[in-house]
Structures are given as C-alpha cells and as structure tokens.
Chain A
Amino acid sequence: MTRNMICIGCPMGCDLTVETENGAAVSVSGNSCPIGKKYAETEVSAPTRMVTSTAKAENGTPVPVKTKVPVPKDKIFEVAAAIKAAKVTLPVSIGDIIVEDAAGTGVCIVATKDIKA
C-alpha cells in the first residue's frame, strides 16, 4: 500500500511517500533527512506526538509544560487531562518533572519555563 503524508519533523514539511506492507513501512521517499524517514516509519505503525499545554500552579499561574518525548497519538487527550489535574508548586525550573507518568504512557511531563515563587 502507498501512503502520502507531510513530514512534521521540521518546518520544511516534506511530502513523503511511504510504501507499506502489513502496516509497516518498507520504503520512504521524498524526505530530505533522516527525521523524515523515522517520522514516516512511526506514522504508519504507531503515530506519536509531542503534547504541550499548561499546568496550574497553586496560586493559579499557568506553568507551560511538555511531554518529555512524544506520546502515542491516541493518548493525547488523556495526557492533556493528566496535565490539567496536576498541581504545581512554585518555583519551577525548565526540565522539572511535573507529572511522573502521564496517563500510563510512561512518559513524564516537564516544565518548559523558569517561574519564580
């Protein structure tokens, strides 16, 4: 089977063509770099996305956060809910862990901004 997709690995947005067999990529073309090949292979088998959002500090300040690595695409909303449920104690620094294991993905949520108490 042939699938066409746009790479989201960087702002270039290469048009990729992926040949698949039994849901696995056998060849990728159209990519300009290794990121595109990896993206296409993941996208046809088990697509993943980074999730960015804000958690709330106790005083109500939004704390920008991200998943440390991409999570399965079908878990995005559960991960977003786990971020909403978190209560952050200030101060935080970039990279501080806000949620250890978001929605059973095994991926932690980390702060992306230094915020003073």
Chain B
Amino acid sequence: MDKHSLVIIGGGPAGMAAAVEAKKSGIDDIVIYERDTQLGGILNQCIHNGFGLHTFKEELTGPEYAGRFIGQTEALGIHYETGSMVLSISSDKKVTVVSREKGLRVVEADAVILAMGCRERPRGALNIPGMRPQGIYTAGTAQKMVNCEGWVPGKEVVILGSGDIGLIMARRMTLEGAHVKLVAELMPYSGGLKRNIVQCLDDYNIPLKLSHTVVDIKGKRRLEGVTITEVGKNGAPIPGTEEYYSCDTLLLSCGLIPENELSSNAGITINNTTNGPVVDDRLETNIDGIFACGNVLHVHDLVDFVSEESGRAGRNAAEYIKNGGRKENSAKCINVTPGNGVRYTVPSVIDTANLTENIHLRFRVRDVYKGCSIEVKTGSETLLCRKKKIMVPSEMEDVILKKELLSASGDITVSITEGGA
C-alpha cells in the first residue's frame, strides 16, 4: 500500500493553501488529489475580478488568484495528481482513489485534509412546481458553460436566487448578449454581496425583486417561461401577485452545500447547520488526524478567508504529523455555542489547554441586524463585545479571541445583542 504523510483531497484554493502551509511547516511527503484535469477548483470558472484583496493586497480575477497558488504549489515541489477522484476515506485514514493512469488504489495517510469544496443546491432540492424542460441550470453550471466551454446557454434569462454566483452570472450573460429580465429572491434581503448588486444588477438595469419566487415553470421541450409571485412573511406565495415572464433559461442561485459524502462515510460528525464537519480550533474533525477547511467546512463568501483558514489547517496537520499523531493532553475542551441571532460558529470546540494561536472564530447571523453588538460570554462574564453598524446573513462575521482570554474560560456563547458597547 502506498503511504503518504499528508493526503489532501481537493486541489482548489483550500487544498492548495493547506498544502503550501504544511510544506512550509516541514512536511515533505504531501499529495493533493484533484478530480478535475487542472488545479484551481471553482476559481477556474470565476473569471471576474474581486479576489485577493486580503491575501495579495491587489484585486485579481479567479484564474489569476488560482495561478498564484498553483505557482507556489509547483515552486515548493508539492506533488499533485489531477484526474484523480477519491472514492472513500476510512476512519483509520486509508484513502481509496481512482484515476485513469493508475487505476484504483488505496493510500495510507498519517493525516488527511478535507478540501472538497461545495455544491450548488439543485432544482430537485427546491421544490419548484411545473414542467421539467431544458433550459434550467444552476448558476455555476451556466458559469462553467460560458467561461470554460465557450457557449451561452440561452438568450432570455430569469434568475432565481440572489447568491453571488447568480448576480455575477446576470452580468456575465448580459455581456454575452443575453437579456436578463429579472433576479427573484425568496428572502426579504439579498443573498449576495452588496457590491455585486451594484456592479452586476444596477449597472445593467436588471431588476431585483426581493420576497419573490418562481411558482410555475412552463415548457414541454425547452423552457418557455416562468411565473413569479410575491411571498409573504411565512414564505408562502401571495395569491393575485403572479406575473409571467417568458424566458428560455432559468438560472438557480439558491445556496451552496458543503460536499461531505466522503466525510460522512468516514464517520465524521457533521454539523446540521453548516452541513460541514464539526471541528475544533485546530480545524480537526472528531477523527484524529483528519482536518477540514474551505467550503467543505462551511461556505465562505471570500476566497481570501478560505486561504487563511486552510493555511491554518495545513499548519495544524503538519504539527499533528510531527508529533507522531500523539495529541497533547486535551482534557480542557470548551464548547462554543451559537446564542441569540447566531446560526453557527466555526470552530465549535476549543481545546484551551494547548492554544498556540489566537482563536479566529467565524460565524453567520440569522437575520439582518442594525446597530447591534457581537457579544462573546462565558457564564455571565463578557469576554468580548463589538458594536457593528450592520450584519447580514449573506456576509460572514468573525471575531478574534485572544488565547489568554480563553485559558481560564469555561464554555462560551456568541450572541447578537441590541445596542451594546
């Protein structure tokens, strides 16, 4: 059986950043398995700009951002295998991988980093009534068609969901000569970044209808049109508000789901809110030596944050390998609980006995909050309170907890409070 110190599953931004940091931390025997024909993951189809302001202090397009990490991966001599799909991981870190060149193999690893990214929520998961004609795609599928395959899926477009990929595709389809008639969003707020509303919709006079959804799809072979209605507070369509839009293409931008079939089958505990593994402050899952980072852990808004997080996973995996898989006595674990207004936190467990770095806690809020504060408490003691002008579910929040604060702390809760500091 082949053996490697570190096996990284996925060669997108998370996998590459983890590999680079693990290598810099002294681990030489690394392999990245990537199922596509090239490294870069989703960035290869994200040809728009807006990446890298944090990481490289300049604004890059997706392929350029990927190019920087591919350059580092190659310069450091990190081994990667493209066209290689991981089929399973066992709880004792044996990874089954298949490729055209090498066939089916089982590879043993001292540590594994999960960096498989996420998938789009498809039509089947949205319960949209109506016919099942051609012309209905997830926004990312359409993005791949336009930007990587070189053909445009339609001319008259309606987009359901205002996630960033949907907004970016509204602009992209417009530049390719299509007419984007409408973006409909079920929620009363946009699912994407504000800048994308401005530069992808407003710039092109594309209307965004909040609290609207598709209630009927018409077309036998090819999509002919969709019916949009307003929805009430309970999310139910309001009778009498139906409007018909003729279109040949419906793009769905209705959320992303971490791709964790491999993780679940390995026995890794999944958080029901994030759909990603439950991890501690080292980004280690409940299985010793298996780490997770990037969109497989929780869906990020910015690749820069993926790179930062994944670098930490790489360093922690390196530390684990160098310690021969032995963990320090980790008897002092505290739980991080999402309180009022907070959907989830990553990490959800902190091992306060062995803190080497300050804790970078990321989370999402449940609703739109204006003039509120983020409060981190242990029992009745407030560890941190930070006032925020505005917080929205579509934008990830973070706080950094000084390790000195936590060393004597019990379980902590992160909540949103009115007013505050």
Closest-by-CB residue of A relative to B199 is A8
In the complex the two chains form, is B47's CB within 8 Å of A112's CB?
yes
In the complex the two chains form, is A50's CB within 8 Å of B147's CB?
no
Most chain B C-beta atoms within 10 Å of own C-beta, residue among A49, A60, A66:
A66
Q: Is the CB of A86 closer than 8 A to any CB of chain B?
A: no
Comparing A17-25, A51-59, A101-109, the segment that makes contact with chain B is A51-59
- How many angstroms between the C-alpha atoms of A77 and B175 in the bound complex? 7
Within 8 Å CB of B302, what residues of A? 11
In the complex the two chains form, is B150's CB within 8 Å of A112's CB?
no
Residues of A62-111 at the interface with B, using a CB-CB cut-off of 8 Å, are 62, 64, 66, 73, 76-77, 80, 94
Within 8 Å CB of A6, what residues of B? 194-195, 197-198
8 Å CB contact of B50 from A11, A53, A60: A11
Q: Is the CB of A3 closer than 8 A to any CB of chain B?
A: no
Q: Is the CB of B64 closer than 8 A to any CB of chain A?
A: yes
With contact pairs A64-B47, A73-B203 given, residues A8 and B150 touching in the complex (Cβ less than 8 Å): no
Q: Is the CB of B61 closer than 8 A to any CB of chain A?
A: yes
Within 8 Å CB of B2, what residues of A? none
Q: Is the CB of B334 closer than 8 A to any CB of chain A?
A: no
Within 8 Å CB of A60, what residues of B? 150
With contact pairs A6-B197, A8-B198 given, residues A64 and B150 touching in the complex (Cβ less than 8 Å): no
Q: How large is the interface on B (under 10, 10 to 19, 20 to 34, 35 or more residues)?
A: 20 to 34
8 Å CB contact of A49 from B148, B149, B203: B203
Residues of A9-68 at the interface with B, using a CB-CB cut-off of 8 Å, are 9-11, 13, 49-54, 56, 60-62, 64, 66
8 Å CB contact of A94 from B49, B64, B301: B64
8 Å CB contact of B301 from A5, A9, A11, A64: A11
Least CB distance from B14 to A in Å reads 18
- How many angstroms between the C-alpha atoms of A80 and B193 in the bound complex? 24
Q: Is the CB of B355 closer than 8 A to any CB of chain A?
A: no
Residues of B179-210 at the interface with A, using a CB-CB cut-off of 8 Å, are 193-195, 197-199, 203
With contact pairs A112-B64, A113-B64 given, residues A11 and B49 touching in the complex (Cβ less than 8 Å): no
- How many angstroms between the C-alpha atoms of A6 and B195 in the bound complex? 7
Within 8 Å CB of B146, what residues of A? 54, 62
Within 8 Å CB of A13, what residues of B? 193-195, 198
Q: Is the CB of B276 closer than 8 A to any CB of chain A?
A: no
8 Å CB contact of B67 from A8, A11, A51, A94: A94
In the complex the two chains form, is A62's CB within 8 Å of B199's CB?
no
Q: Is the CB of B63 closer than 8 A to any CB of chain A?
A: yes
Least CB distance from B45 to A in Å reads 9
- How many angstroms between the C-alpha atoms of A113 and B70 in the bound complex? 11
In the complex the two chains form, is A112's CB within 8 Å of B198's CB?
no
- How many angstroms between the C-alpha atoms of A77 and B177 in the bound complex? 9
Closest-by-CB residue of B relative to A53 is B175
- How many angstroms between the C-alpha atoms of A30 and B193 in the bound complex? 17
In the complex the two chains form, is A112's CB within 8 Å of B195's CB?
no
Instruction: Digitize B42-55: 1 where CB-to-A-CB distance is under 8 Å, 0 elsewhere.
Output: 00100111100100
With contact pairs A53-B47, A54-B147, A80-B175 given, residues A64 and B197 touching in the complex (Cβ less than 8 Å): no
Least CB distance from B421 to A in Å reads 19
Instruction: Digitize B35-73: 1 where CB-to-A-CB distance is under 8 Å, 0 elsewhere.
Output: 000000000100111100100000111011001000000
Within 8 Å CB of A56, what residues of B? 150
User: Which A residues lie at the B interface, using CB under 8 A?
Assistant: 5-11, 13, 49-54, 56, 60-62, 64, 66, 73, 76-77, 80, 94, 112-114
Nearest first, the 9 closest Cβ-Cβ pairs linking A and B are: A13-B194, A113-B63, A64-B47, A62-B150, A8-B195, A112-B61, A80-B175, A13-B195, A52-B48
Q: A66-B61, A113-B64 are in contact. List 13 more A-B contacts (CB 8 A).
A: A8-B199, A11-B195, A11-B302, A11-B395, A13-B195, A53-B175, A54-B146, A56-B150, A64-B63, A66-B47, A66-B49, A76-B203, A112-B61
> Can you list 8 A-B contacts (CB < 8 A)?
A6-B194, A8-B195, A60-B150, A62-B147, A76-B175, A94-B63, A112-B47, A112-B60
